[in-house]
Amino acid sequence: MSDYDPDLTDDSSSESNPDSSVRITNKFSDLLEKTERLGAGGFGSVYKCVHTLEGKEYAVKRIELKNNRKQLEWCLREVKALSCLEHKHVSWTDTNWDGFSSTEGSQSQESEESKSQESEGSEDSPVKNLLYLFIQMEYCPSTLKSKLEEQPVNHFEVLTYLHHLVKGLDYIHNSGFLHRDLAMKNIFIGKDKRIKIGDFGLAKELIGQDDDDMYCSHSPHSESIGIGFHRAPELKQHQPYSKKSDFYALGITYLDMLLVHVETDHERSHIIDGIKKGIFPVDWKFDTALPRALLAELPEARPNATQILKMIEDAKKARG
C-alpha cells in the first residue's frame, strides 16, 4: 500500500482486480495511464496516473455514485467549488477529469451529457447505471505521518508543521469551506516538500463567512463527519459543524504528531483521552497551552486562526 493514504484498505469486490472494472472516460482515456492503485475506502479508490502527453503524475480519485441524480449533482457542485482552492499548504483538486462510466466500462460518457439524459426523469429518480465520478488531484508522494516516523519527534519542527496547517485551514475557511475530516491520514507532503491538507471528500461549503463560528448546512455525508477522536464534543450533541470543529480536529492532529512514536493505538488513545480531560502524562515534555485551547469543550472557547498562530509562536519562543 502506498504512503498516499495508509488508512485506505482494499476491498474484496471487483476492486480486487481494478483494471477489469475501472475505465477512465473515453474523452480522457488516451491521456491517462494508470500505474498503481494508491488505496480504496468509503468514498472510492485513488489511482496514481501519468499524463501521457505531459509526463506528469496525478492522483485520480474514483467516486462511486450509488444513489440518485441529486447525489451526482451535489458531488459535481462541491468538486467544482473546491477546485478554486489554491494555496501552498492545500493539495489542489482539478475538475478537468470529471466524468463517469458504467461499471463494466462498456459505455462511457461525459458528465454534462449524462446529466442531460437523466433530466427527463424525476429529480429523485435513481441513476440507472452504476456511475463513477473521476477527480484529478495533485499527486503527493508521501504523508506527514511517514515523515514524522522517520526520526525522533522534534517539537519545534512539529510546531512549524502546525503553523502551516493553520495557514492552510484558515485559507480553506476564508474561501468559504469547512474540511470536516482533518486528520494525519489527510495531510501529505507534496513534491515541493511542503505540507498539504488534502482529501476533501467530506468538505462542505459554509453558510456564511463572516463569523468564526459559522457552520455548514446538511449534506449527503453529514452522518460521517468528525469520526473518532477527531469528533468535536458539540457534534455528539447534534450541533452543526463549524470552523471551531475543524480546529478541534486540528488539536487532535497536533497530539497525533507529537505521539507518532507511541507503540500502540490503545496507548495513544489513553494519552489523548487524558489530555482531553486536562490530564497530561507526568513525563510530558511538550507545551500544554495549545492542546488545552484547541480541545476546549465549548466551541466558542477555542481560539481562532490568528490566536492559534500567536500561541504557536509563543510555544516556539519558549522552546528557545
CA dist 274 → 5, 180, 302 (Å): 28, 24, 18
CATH number of 142-319: 1.10.510.10
C-alpha angle 149-155-158 in degrees, rounded to nearest 5: 65
Q: What is the pLDDT of residues 103-116, one digit of tens each?
A: 444 333 333 333 43
Res 296: pLDDT: 97
- Of how many residues is the chain composed? 320
Most confident stretch, 8-12, 38-42, 44-48: 44-48
Quote the strand ranges of 21-114, DSSP E.
32-41, 44-51, 57-65, 93-94, 100-101, 108-109
Q: 94: closest CA among 104, 82, 106, 76?
A: 82
Reported as a pLDDT band with limits 50, 70 and 90, residue 121 is very low
Distance in angstroms (rounded) separating the CA atoms of residues 43 and 52: 26
159-190 burial by CB neighbour count: b if 16+ within 10 A, else e? bebbbbbbbbbbbbbebbbbbbbbbbbbbbbb
Distance CA(106)–CA(141), nearest Å, equals 32
The CATH architecture annotation of domain 14-138 reads 2-Layer Sandwich (3.30)
- Following DSSP, what letter does each residue of 162-199 receive, concatenated? HHHHHHHHHHHHHTTEE-S--SGGGEEE-TTS-EEE--
Q: Where are the domains of the chain?
A: 14-138, 142-319
Model confidence pLDDT, tens digit, residues 200-220: 665 666 554 445 555 544 444
Say which residue, 227 or 302, is predicted with more confidence.
302
Instruction: Name beta bridge partners: 216.
Output: 206
pTM for this entry: 0.75
131 has pLDDT over 60: yes
